[in-house]
């Protein structure tokens, strides 16, 4: 009996030691986990998983909405022929509007163009442009443009434009512009000039008809009549002709009424 009693006590002591060892191991593991560094990759993986879950939740209603028109497609196919023709006419209207819009854009682009007749080029015949024209060479014929006409070469013909400028140019023909006509130094024009305002610094042989102000600079030589709203003649200018302010608002006859 004493032997079994001693064996029982030894067995209980061994169990107590084993239980104590397990507790110390668990405590050490807990301490190590608290004292250890945080695994960044695992945390990022967790965040990625959360993002995937959120995106899946967001995509699921969108997929449901995208699937909705698929169910309606066979219903549209069962509609009558008249409904289909109505749809086609509805689609054709914006197409025609787009074509009109494109045409307007092309017209604006063309209006901004500038055609240049280079110094070594000679054109025989009439020249027309929606935009502006710059003549550095020679044109034998009429010139018409909606933009500005700049002549630094020679033109043998009539011209019409929204604005006219001659710089050391030789022009034989009538000049008509809806804007300002500027005749620079060294330019020679044989023909009448019609404009809304004019600055003459070159030589003009012809009548000047301007429904606005006219400035005759010191280097100007004019052989012809000037008809304008007002005129400014600088010292040194030569004019052989009559100056009439017939477009002026002043009633000359009433001034001299006695």
Neighbours of 229 (CB within 10 A): 17
Collapsing DSSP states into helix, strand and coil, what is residue 84? helix
Domain layout of the chain by residue ranges: 114-254
pLDDT in tens, the chain (258 residues): 555 556 666 666 766 666 665 554 444 444 444 444 555 566 556 555 555 654 555 455 545 554 555 555 555 555 544 455 444 544 554 454 454 455 445 444 446 889 999 999 999 999 999 999 999 999 999 999 999 999 999 999 999 999 999 999 999 999 999 999 999 999 999 999 999 999 999 999 999 999 999 999 999 999 999 999 999 999 999 999 999 999 998 888 888 887
> What sign for the dihedral angle of Cα 96, 102, 108, 114?
negative
The pTM score is: 0.58
């Amino acid at each position: 009996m004493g032997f079994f009693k001693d064996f029982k006590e030894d067995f209980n002591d061994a169990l107590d030691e084993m239980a104590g060892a397990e507790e110390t191991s668990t405590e050490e593991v807990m301490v190590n986990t608290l004292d250890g560094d945080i695994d960044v990759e695992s945390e990022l993986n967790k965040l990625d998983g959360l993002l995937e879950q959120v995106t899946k939740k967001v995509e699921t209603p969108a997929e449901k909405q995208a699937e909705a028109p698929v169910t309606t497609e066979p219903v549209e196919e069962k509609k009558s022929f008249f409904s289909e023709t109505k749809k086609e006419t509805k689609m054709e209207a914006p197409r025609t509007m787009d074509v009109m819009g494109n045409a307007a854009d092309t017209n604006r682009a063309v209006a901004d163009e500038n055609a240049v007749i280079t110094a070594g080029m000679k054109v025989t015949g009439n020249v027309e442009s929606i935009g502006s024209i710059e003549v550095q060479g020679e044109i034998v014929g009429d010139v018409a443009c909606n933009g500005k006409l700049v002549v630094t070469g020679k033109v043998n013909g009539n011209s019409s434009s929204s604005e006219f400028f001659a710089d050391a140019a030789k022009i034989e023909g009538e000049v008509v512009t809806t804007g300002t006509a500027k005749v620079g130094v060294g330019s020679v024009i044989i023909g009448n000039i019609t404009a809304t305002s004019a600055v003459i610094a070159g030589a003009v042989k012809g009548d000047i008809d301007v429904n606005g102000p006219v400035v005759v600079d010191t280097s100007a030589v004019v052989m012809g009549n000037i008809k304008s709203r007002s005129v400014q003649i600088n010292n040194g200018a030569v004019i052989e002709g009559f100056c009439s302010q017939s477009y002026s608002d002043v009633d000359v006859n009433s001034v001299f009424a006695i």
